[in-house]
């Protein structure tokens, strides 16, 4: 009985740790993308309507991405973190069409 409780506790702990780790990675990438847009792309912070970090089905560094919507822009932009920790525009969508960089 005690072994089954320990096993259940261990499995639940692993799930919580993995969930927390991926949540941390997504939030960290989201913050880096916003910082990149403001400091390097010179986009005013109030122009950024929304950012949404997510796990994509792409490989490598593109596995974690952030979608960005800007004020007065119909497009949605998708960014990821490159190998040198730089933020890279992967693609954007507009009028139902995806444009890959």
Q: Mind listing the pLDDT tens digit for each residue in 88-101?
A: 999 999 888 888 87
What's the pLDDT at 1? 61
Better pLDDT: 37 or 97:
37
Assess if residue 77 is contained within a domain. yes
Q: What is the C-alpha separation between 57 and 48, in angstroms, rounded?
A: 25
Provide the domain count of the chain: 1
Assess if residue 82 is contained within a domain. yes
Mean pLDDT over residues 76-86, rounded?
94
Assess if residue 57 is contained within a domain. yes
- How do residues 5-36 score in pLDDT, each as one tens digit? 888 999 999 999 999 999 999 999 999 999 99
Pairing state of beta strands 97-100 and 76-81?
A: unpaired
Assess if residue 88 is contained within a domain. yes
Assess if residue 5 is contained within a domain. no
Assess if residue 21 is contained within a domain. no
Q: What is the C-alpha separation between 86 and 88, in angstroms, rounded?
A: 6
What's the pLDDT at 95? 84
Assess if residue 7 is contained within a domain. no
CB 92 within 8 A of CB 78: yes
Assess if residue 8 is contained within a domain. no
Question: What residue numbers bound the domain in which 58 lies?
Answer: 29-100
β-strand partners of 46: none
Q: What is the C-alpha separation between 63 and 78, in angstroms, rounded?
A: 12
Q: How many residues comprise the chain? A: 101
């Amino acid at each position: 009985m005690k072994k089954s409780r320990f096993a259940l506790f261990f499995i639940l702990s692993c799930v919580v740790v993995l969930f927390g780790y991926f949540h941390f990675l997504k939030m960290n990438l989201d913050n880096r993308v916003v910082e990149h847009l403001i400091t390097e792309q010179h986009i005013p912070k109030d122009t950024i309507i929304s950012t949404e970090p997510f796990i994509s089905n792409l490989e490598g560094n593109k596995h974690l991405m952030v979608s960005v919507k800007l004020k007065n822009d119909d497009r949605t932009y998708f960014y990821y973190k490159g190998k040198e920790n730089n933020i890279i525009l992967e693609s954007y969508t507009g009028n139902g069409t995806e444009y890959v960089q």
